[in-house]
Amino acid sequence: AMEEPSDNRQKKVVAVVGGGLVGALNACFFAKRGLDVEVFESREDIRQAKVVKGRSINLALSHRGRQALKHVGMEEKIVSQGIPMHARMIHSLNGKQSPIPYGKKSQVNRLPATYKLTNHSETYPNAKLNFDHKLQDWSAEKGLMTFVRSDGTKEHIQADLIVGCDGAFSAIRKQFLRRSRFNYSQTYIPHGYMELTMPPINGEFAMKPNYLHIWPRNTFMMIALPNLDKTFTCTLFMPFDEFEKITTGDQVIEFFQKCFPDSIPLIGADALREDYFRLPAQAMVSVKCSPYHIGDKCVLMGDAAHAVVPFYGQGMNAGFEDCIVFDEIMEQFNEDLAAVLAEYSRVRVPDDHAIADLAMYNYVEMRAHVNSKWFLFRKHVDNILHFVMPKTIIPLYTMVTFTRTRYHKAVERWQWQDKVINRGLLFSAAGAALGGVFLLIKNPPDVNKLSIPAEKMWSRLAALRSP
Ligand code: FAD
C-alpha cells in the first residue's frame, strides 16, 4: 500500500518520469511555461558518472526535432555539437559509392545532447532534477508515485500531472495496460543491431563525412554516421539468427569480405575480429498504443508512447515533436489538463502511429529498394517533379524529414501522389510508344540502312517469340 506524501504542496506540480532525450526537453517546455516541474530519472546524473552504461548512439536530428529545440532556445547549441549531413552514400558490393542527396539534416550524439538539455532545464528555478529515482509503482487515481533509490529506500511523491517519458519499456505505461479500452501492440523485428567503430585515418575521417553511408545488402544492411572526433559509428543490422551463426573472428572477416569488403580496411581487420564479440546484438521493438492519457492525471510521450524501429531516423524527432504539440495544445486549452490531455491523444495518436508504420515500411525499403532500379528511377522522377512543382509534388521523405506536415497527412498525400505519378508515367510511356509507332508509320525506316539485315532481324524476332 502506498503512503500519503509527506509534503503538501500548493502549486501545481508536473512530474516528468524519465530524464532521457524527451524527458529532458519536456522539462524545459514545462519550466518555460512557469509550471513547477520535477524530473525523476532512474540512472545517476550522467554528467557526473565516470562510466556511462549503455552505448552512445548517434542520431539524425531533422526539422521536427530542431523546431522543438528552437522553442526552448536550444537548437543552435545542440546542432553545433553535431555534424551536418547532406546525402546518403550508397556503397555497392564492388566498392562503388553513389550519393543520393536529401537536404539539411544533422547528426547528434545521444549523450551530449541529453547532457545539454539536462543542463538547460536546470537553469529554470522552477525545475528540479532527481537522479537515482526509479519509478516502481504509481496510482493514476491519486497521482501518487513510488520511487526506489539504489540504497533500497523508497520515496512517495504526488504530482498533479505525471508525464511518462521513460522509454520503450515504460513503467508508467504498465498501469495503462491494466485499464479498459487501452489499445496496445508491440512487435520485435527479426533483426538486431550492433555498433562498430571506424577510426580516423591519419587524423582524418576514413570516408567522406556529411553523409549517411549505407551498404544495402537485401537482408543485411550496414550504415555509418560521422562523429565529431572523426570516427564513424557503423551500425550493422542483421537477423538475429545470422548474428548467431558467426562465432569466430575468421567468420567475421569472411562475412565482411562477402558483404562489405570496402569497409574491412577502414574498420581494421583486427578490430573487427574483436569488436564484433564485445557486446551482443541489440533487439528493436515497435510499440503502438492509444490513448496516450489517463484523465487529467497522466500522459505518455516519446518512446514510452511510441517506440519505432530506427529506419526513418524519426524516433527522437517524433518524441521532440510530441513536446511541441503538447505545448501548443496547452496554449490552446489554457492549461486545462482534462481538455489538454484528451486533445493531445486525439491529435497525436494518428501521427505517431503513422511514423511507426513508415519506419517499419522503411525497414524493408532501406535494405532492398535502394538497390532497385525502379526505386531509384522513381526517386529521380519525384525529385524532378518536386523541382518543377514544388508545392504540388513533395517526396514523402521530404515531408517527413524537412517539414512539420503531420505524419498521417504526409502519408495520405504520399499515397495520392504515388497514384498520380504512376498513372502519369504509365500514360507517358503509352504516349511515347504510340508516338513512336506513329513516327514509324509516317517515316518508315529504310531497311537497307539498318545495321542488321532485315531477314536476320525477322528471324531474331521470330526466335524471341517462339517458346
Ligand atoms: P529514452 O531515450 O529511452 O529515455 C528514457 C529514460 O527514462 C532513460 O533515461 C531511462 O533511464 C529512464 N527510465 C526508464 N525507466 C525508468 C523508471 N522506471 N523510472 C525512472 N526513469 C526511468 N531517433 C532519431 O530521431 N534519429 C535517429 O537517427 C535514430 N536512430 C536510432 C538508432 C537506433 C539503433 C535506435 C535503437 C534508436 C534510434 N532513434 C533515432 C530513436 C531514439 O533513440 C529514441 O526515439 C529516443 O531515444 C527516445 O527518447 P526517450 O527520451 O523517449 O526515451
Q: Pick the atom of ligand 1 nearest to 304's CA.
A: 52
**How much is the average pLDDT of 231-246?**
95
Q: Of the given ranges (275-284, 313-322, 412-421, 430-439), which has the lowest mean pLDDT?
A: 430-439
Atom of ligand 1 nearest to the CA of 307: 45
Beta bridge partners of 216: 221
- pLDDT at residue 447 tops 70: no
171 Cα nearest atom in ligand 1: 18
- Beta-bridged to residue 225, according to DSSP, are 233
Q: Does 162 score more than 50 pLDDT?
A: yes
Cell for 289?
Answer: 498504443
In one-letter notation, the amino acid at residue 400 is V
Mean pLDDT, residues 27-39 taken together: 97
pLDDT band for position 461 (50/70/90)?
very low
Average pLDDT of span 324-336 = 97
- The torsion of the CA quartet 260, 262, 263, 264, rounded to 10 degrees, works out to 90
Average the pLDDT over 12-29 and give the result. 96
Peptide bond into 265 cis (omega under 30): no
Residue 379 has pLDDT above 80, yes or no: no
Per-residue pLDDT, averaged over 365-387, amounts to: 75
Which pLDDT belongs to residue 51? 56
For residue 368, what pLDDT is reported? 64
Strands (DSSP E) found in 151-259: 154-158, 161-164, 183-198, 211-217, 220-226, 232-239
State residue 435's pLDDT score: 80
**Residue, of 80 and 170, whose pLDDT is higher:** 170
- Most confident stretch, 55-59, 84-88, 427-431, 447-451: 84-88
| Whole-number pLDDT of residue 366 | 64
Tell me how far apart the alpha carbons of residues 55 and 359 are, in angstroms, rounded to a whole number. Answer: 22
Q: Give pLDDT, residue 371.
A: 65
Joined grid coordinates for residue 264: 574491412
pLDDT at 260 over 60: yes
Q: Report which of residues 102 and 266 the model is more confident about.
A: 266
Nearest residue (CA) to ligand 1, atom 15: 166
Enclosing H/E stretch for 16: strand 13-17
pTM of this structure: 0.87
DSSP state of 201: B
**Which atom, in ligand 1's list, is nearest to the CA of 22?**
51
Q: Is the pLDDT of residue 229 over 60?
A: yes
Instruction: Give the mean model confidence (pLDDT) for residues 265-294.
Output: 96
Structural contact between residues 193 and 225, judged by C-beta atoms closer than 8 angstroms? no
Q: Specify the DSSP element, H or E, that contains 373.
A: helix 373-388
Position 69: which residue type?
L
DSSP state of 285: E
201-209's contacts with Cβ under 8 Å and 24+ in sequence apart are: 201/266, 203/230, 204/230, 205/230, 205/232, 206/232, 206/266, 207/89, 207/232, 207/266, 208/89, 208/97, 209/83
Mean pLDDT in the chain? 88
Lowest mean pLDDT among 91-100, 170-179, 398-407, 428-437: 428-437
**Best of 28, 41, 53, 59 for a ligand 1 pocket test (most atoms within 8 Å of beta carbon):** 59
pLDDT at 106: 80
Asked if residue 445 has pLDDT above 80, the reply is no
Most ligand 1 atoms within 8 A of CB, residue of 138, 195, 285, 303 to mutate: 303
Residue 155, CA distances (Å) to 130, 133, 166, 175 in order: 11, 8, 18, 19
In this structure, are residues 362 and 312 in contact, taking their beta carbons and an 8 Å threshold? yes
Cell 508509320 locates to 441
- How many A from CA of 57 to the centre of ligand 1? 10
Q: Look at residue 369 in the predicted model and tell me its pLDDT.
A: 66
Please report the pLDDT score of residue 388 as a whole number: 82
Query: Residue of the nearest CA to atom 37 in ligand 1?
Result: 310
* pLDDT, average across residues 357-369: 80
Q: 15 pLDDT exceeds 90?
A: yes
Which residues have C-beta atoms less than 6 Å from ligand 1?
17-23, 40-43, 57, 59-60, 134-135, 165-167, 171, 193, 235, 302-304, 310, 313-317, 319
Find the mean pLDDT for residues 243-263.
Answer: 96
Inter-residue contact 289 to 305 (CB < 8 Å): yes
Q: What is the mean pLDDT of residues 431-438?
A: 79
The better pLDDT of the pair 377, 289 is held by 289
Residue scoring higher pLDDT (72 or 87): 72
Q: Is the pLDDT of residue 6 over 60?
A: no
Write the residue with the smallest CA distance to atom 32 of ligand 1: 310
- Please say if the pLDDT value at position 286 is more than 60: yes
Placement of cell 567522406 in the chain? 208
pLDDT score recorded for residue 446: 59
pLDDT surpasses 50 at 299: yes
Q: What is the pLDDT of residue 11?
A: 65
Does residue 8 carry a pLDDT above 50? Answer: no
pLDDT tens per residue across span 305-321: 999 999 899 999 999 99
Q: What is the CA(419)–ligand 1 centre distance, in A?
A: 36
pLDDT digits (tens, 9 = 90+) for 36-53: 999 999 999 877 876 554
Residue 303 CA, ligand 1 centroid: distance in Å: 6
